[in-house]
A and B are shown apart, each in its own frame.
Chain A
Amino acid sequence: QVQLQQWGAGLLKPSETLSLTCGVFGGSFSDYYWTWIRQSPGKGLEWIGEITQSGSTNYNPSLKSRVTISAATSKNQFSLYVGSVTAADTAVYYCARGVLRFGEFHFDHWGQGTLVTVSS
């Protein structure tokens, strides 16, 4: 049974860097798109970006200038970094496993979510 478990700091000050890590347990790290998604009351669910085992990344254009996703494949972990955070980055952040099959894409496993609050 695949499980995603995430951790990281939940309270940040403006201009700091958000850092979260997601561990993948009970499944392969290859053949999937390891993804970060956030959810805020004002913007709903927002795709942030993804990484594959080969290190290939894709980011939401609206966040691309501030976001980095990296992977430690030997540990079955991937991480999210968002620089220069503001109050607008306050949200629940989820890691998720993306599945691409015959041109169709969905998220079949999710982490438990981490509330990140940006406040001075």
Chain B
Amino acid sequence: IVLTQSPGTLSLSPGDRATLSCRASQSVDSNSLAWYQQKPGQAPRLLIYGASDRPTGIPDRFSGSGSGTDFTLTISRLEPEDFAVYYCQQYGYSITFGQGTRLEIK
């Protein structure tokens, strides 16, 4: 399954709302879609799993939605530390990641 993320780069300001998209080439079973945040020089960090569940410790300004082939990560009100690269990941026949969306300060 190929995951296509859009946009490639998103330029916003602190306090704005961010909407990131992840589209799958085939339906993702059991909503097995996760989102990660990666900052320079760091490993990815799990933000959302099961399309919409947040691990303990992830702020509630991060939310995930969607099913089938279309998924969205929403950051309700951007904080300075949210500017990073975001990846989606699916589990099905194999495990694949999207190519990432870079969220940059406008």
**Chain A residues engaging chain B, CB cutoff 8 angstroms:** 44-47, 60-61, 94, 96, 99-108, 110-113
CB–CB B49/A104 < 8 A: yes
Given known contacts A44-B99, A108-B46, A102 and B30 CB-to-CB distance under 8 angstroms: yes
CB–CB B30/A103 < 8 A: yes
* In the complex, number of A-B residue pairs with CB atoms less than 8 Å apart: 59
Q: Which residue of A lies closest to B53 (CB)?
A: A104
Residues 40-99 of B contacting A (Cβ, < 8 Å): 42-46, 49-50, 55, 87, 89, 91, 94-99
Bin chain B's interface residue count.
Answer: 20 to 34
Q: Which label, helix, strand, loop or mixed, suits the secondary structure of the B interface?
A: mixed
A56 to chain B, nearest CB (A): 15
**Chain B residues engaging chain A, CB cutoff 8 angstroms:** 29-32, 34, 36, 42-46, 49-50, 55, 87, 89, 91, 94-100
CB–CB A44/B89 < 8 A: no
In the complex, what distance in Å separates the CA atom of A104 from the CA atom of B8? 26
B52 to chain A, nearest CB (A): 11
CB–CB A45/B49 < 8 A: no
Q: Which of A47, A60, A104, A111 contacts B32 (CB 8 A)?
A: A104
In the complex, what distance in Å separates the CA atom of A107 from the CA atom of B95? 11
A52 to chain B, nearest CB (A): 15
Closest 10 CB pairs of A and B: A103-B30, A105-B91, A110-B43, A45-B97, A106-B34, A106-B49, A47-B95, A104-B32, A104-B50, A44-B99
